[in-house]
Amino acid sequence: MKDISIYFKARDYQGAIVEERLSHKIIAHTEGFFPELEKNSIALISCPEYRNGSGPAKNAGESAYFDAFAALNTGEGWNFNIYDLGTIMPGNEIKDTYFALSQVVAELVKNNILPVVLGGTQDLTFALYQAYQHLEQMVNLTNVDYAFDLGDPEETIASNGYISQIMMHRPCYLFNVSTIGIQAPYVKKSEMDLFEKLYFDVCRLGEFNADFKVAEPLLRNSDILSLDLNSIRFSDYENEAGMPNGFYANQVCQVAKYAGISDKLAVFGIFNVQPNDRNLKNNTLIAEIIWYFIDGFAQRKGDFPIGTKREYTKFNVHLEGYDNDLVFYKSPKSNRWWMEVPFPSKNGVKYERHHLVPCNFEDYQAAMQNEMPNLWWKTYQKLV
């Protein structure tokens, strides 16, 4: 593994180290010591880069969220290492910060270490995406946000405008973008039309509130999850956006749990963390989001159906008007469902990770009623 210690500054942790709490379990980067990283582990990273935010310049200092996290108890079955790698300090220019973060994330993902990145503004998602350029791997990105953050590719990248930069970046390794928590008052019709034209996935806040399980297949299909803390209602998290509506605290923890369980998800970014925030409620919620994500990671089933599917229950559904049957798979380990979407042979292994689409039992039921599942159709359009 390459030496990534050059990118980090050690965190100055002042809390007590207590047995059975995370302060006792975490292996921390300290002055003169950088941990030797093992596979199948979690790495916590701070990246307080705020220069692309819409507000005035901020002091890029540490937050107290880590102290709140270290004070929590260790979860059941957490038989893997949790590293605190410290802080990637902002570079002379923002592109320097992007470069450092992308290099670190790429190296960690390549070695099967899952980075949890705490920022900074949400444009740091671009750096997470750039990591996959180094890995030369197609990627699914999911944003938890109240707006699309599309932006203009002709303008400078910004915290609320970075998706277009990802879409236009070459070489392109972007397969799909999903957004969970969209609120209609903050979405332009032209943006929604573009997302529909590109067959991207959208889960509105109202749909999530009606049945939070609708977001699970999108999270299970993600490589990168980018959480905007501004998508949480102000009564639960006192953010700068001051959103009266949004996710409740328990809902965003549920999203983190689902994401952690996903075998496919390899990077988790939590952004718009308030710098130097001493708000106990804010820091405790961030700590709990991290905790539930790691608890989900501890419960991974390893049942994403790549390779042999002999142990899976296979369902063939014939739809009138279609030549080929729709194929569904159900995991015996988790009772979760996937759909198989054919892709042209000329694309070879490029799309191998993307033609098995996570879905719900309801998608199978729709197919049984001779209805083409929307997820199947959108994935097929992207593959061809």
Task: Let me know: does 46 contact 11? Beta carbons within 8 Å.
Answer: yes
Q: Dihedral sign, CA of 157, 123, 88, 138?
A: negative
CA pair distance 158, 151, nearest whole angstrom: 8
How does strand 326-330 pair with strand 337-340?
antiparallel
> What phi and psi values does residue 305 have, to the nearest 5 degrees?
-75, 70
Q: For residue 175, what pLDDT is reported?
A: 93
Distances (CA, A) of 55 to 9, 50, 121, 199: 26, 9, 11, 33
pTM of structure? 0.94
What is the pLDDT at residue 345? 58
Give the integer Cα–Cα distance in Å for 171 and 162: 16
What letter does residue 273 receive in the DSSP assignment?
P
List CB contacts of 369: < 8 A, sequence separation 6 or more. Answer: none
Supply the pLDDT for residue 308.
Answer: 73
Low-confidence ranges of the chain (pLDDT < 50): 57, 60
At 278 the pLDDT is 83
Sign of the C-alpha dihedral, residues 174, 102, 226, 363?
A: positive
What pLDDT score was predicted for residue 343?
73
Closest CA to 382 of 193, 148, 175, 188: 175
Q: Residues near 144 by Cβ (< 8 Å), separated by ≥ 6?
A: 179, 180, 181, 225, 226, 227, 228, 231, 247, 252, 255
CB 230 within 8 A of CB 243: yes
Delimit the CATH 3.40.800.10 region(s) of the chain.
Answer: 5-298
User: Could you identify the residue written with the tokens 């993307």?
Assistant: 354
* Structure confidence at residue 88 (pLDDT): 95
Residue type at position 69: F
| Beta carbons within 10 angstroms of residue 43's beta carbon | 23
33 phi, psi to nearest 5 deg = -140, 125
CATH superfamily label, 5-298: Ureohydrolase domain (3.40.800.10)
The answer to whether 133 touches 147, Cβ cutoff 8 Å, is no
At 195, which helix (H) or strand (E)? helix 189-197
Q: How many other C-beta atoms lie within 10 A of the C-beta of residue 169?
A: 15
Side chain identity, residue 135: L
Q: What is the pLDDT of residue 277?
A: 78
Cα separation, 217 vs 284, in Å, equals 28
CA distances from 150 to 146, 160, 233 (A): 12, 7, 21
- What residues contact residue 317 under an 8 Å CB cut-off, 6+ apart? 325, 326, 327, 328, 364, 367, 368
Is beta strand 326-330 parallel, antiparallel or unpaired with respect to 313-317? Answer: antiparallel
Classify burial at 296, counting beta carbons within 10 Å of its beta carbon; exposed 0-12, middle 13-18, buried 19 or more: buried
Rg for the chain, CA atoms, rounded: 20
